Amino acid sequence: MGAKIHAPVAGGVDFGGTLASAYAANLHSRIASRVLWRVGQGGYRNEADLYDLARAVAWEQEFSTDQTLRVDVTAHRSPLRSLQFATLRIKDGIVDRARERSGARPSIERSQPDVQVLVHLKEQSAQLYIDLSGEGLFKRGWRAEKGEAPLKENLAAALLMLSGWTPQKPLLDPFCGSGTILIEAASMATGRAPGLQRHFAFEKLRGFDRAAWSLMRQKARDSVDDRAMMQIVGRDISTHVIELAIANARRAGLEMALQNRSLVFEAGDARTGEPIADHGMIVTNPPYGEQSSPKSASVESMMADVAAQLKRKFPGWQAWLLSADRSLPQQMRLRESSKTVLFNGPLECRLFRFDMVAGSMRRQSAKERNARAQKLGKQSTPE
């Protein structure tokens, strides 16, 4: 994207580059939540310092007083007592500067502002940003239909990237819901940039280079390959959500893949579903207890049945499961080869990797027999 990465920071990446690389990050990044442009920074001790910092930025170069504005402040270890007051003073700094220079001021709008300013306060320093994305980048512009607990699109893409899936590998999501993981996968396989179907906040800024942006979008459109080879299958027990997944895939521009059945959504029960190839990958987000209340024993016993089916029918497959339930490996009586902590919104989850090996059913059941025997105080017999 032409960006130079400076450093990873909490929850993000600090990078530099031209505005074009910021456009490209918005258009092409599958995992970013938003792209922010740092327009000012400095030390502060109180709200008056924040006012001065805000007033020192040449906002008039970036937007006009006819445009609506919103200011948000986040803080980590800030000594200030009221973030609301800090926000007010920053807004005053921006507005006073505008009034002084042009006699007019931008009006503040909370719900759909033209320009969004974000300020992040650390213990002693503040950073001022203009949001270049607008709506969160997980919004690709195709989702109209939500199933139960859909994943954000950028988290779905992150699961695929962490799993090492590539379009050559058959991919199955046996709990596909509204299809998020597989729609991301098919978009990757067809080279469809995630931001092709939406607008961005940078389009409303003064320095917006419409010609460069049109060219970049056109290039991205031209590099879509609707006939790319892939074998991607989604199943869900609910026929209703399967319909939603198909409708979502259509809106995401994947009609051709649906037609030539390289992307398939079908109703099916994960406890009895058959593999779609000899080897392949499962990347999925099964239901977990926290999502249904009370924490349900039926989900646990279902996952035990799913595990039995995987052991029986899926040797050679790699299964990646995202769950908030830490006891998932125990429920499935499988040992994970790796686990990665990820946040699904506020919910701490783990991405477990299980390698299904031939004969694991037999080994597992021997283990289970031993465990049961030990529980009963008997000597276990090695097998």
Ligand X SMILES: C[S@@+](CC[C@H](N)C(=O)[O-])C[C@H]1O[C@@H](n2cnc3c(N)ncnc32)[C@H](O)[C@@H]1O
Residues that bind ligand X (CB under 6 A): 147-151, 174-175, 177-178, 180-181, 235-238, 241, 269-271, 285-287, 302
Report the candidate in 68, 65, 63, 130 with the shortest Cα–Cα distance to residue 98.
65
Minimum distance from CB of 258 to ligand X (Å)?
Answer: 17
Minimum distance from CB of 194 to ligand X (Å)?
Answer: 15
Which lies closer to ligand X via its Cβ, residue 181 or residue 356?
Answer: 181
Minimum distance from CB of 175 to ligand X (Å)?
Answer: 4
Residue nearest to ligand X (CB): 177
Which lies closer to ligand X via its Cβ, residue 106 or residue 150?
Answer: 150
Which lies closer to ligand X via its Cβ, residue 129 or residue 354?
Answer: 354
Which lies closer to ligand X via its Cβ, residue 213 or residue 288?
Answer: 288
Q: CA-CA distance, 5 to 16, in Å (whole number)?
A: 6
Phi first, then psi: what are they for 56, rounded to 5°?
-80, -15
Minimum distance from CB of 85 to ligand X (Å)?
Answer: 39
% helix, strand, coil for the chain, step of 5: 35, 20, 45
DSSP state of 24: H
Largest CA distance in the chain: 88
Spatial contact of 196 and 312, defined as CB atoms under 8 Å apart: no
Q: CA-CA distance, 277 to 283, in Å (whole number)?
A: 15
Which lies closer to ligand X via its Cβ, residue 92 or residue 148?
Answer: 148
Spatial contact of 248 and 145, defined as CB atoms under 8 Å apart: yes
| CB-CB neighbours of 76 under 10 Å | 9
Which lies closer to ligand X via its Cβ, residue 195 or residue 286?
Answer: 286
Phi first, then psi: what are they for 135, rounded to 5°?
-60, 145
The alpha carbon torsion through 255, 259, 261, 266 (nearest 10 deg) reads 80
Minimum distance from CB of 311 to ligand X (Å)?
Answer: 16
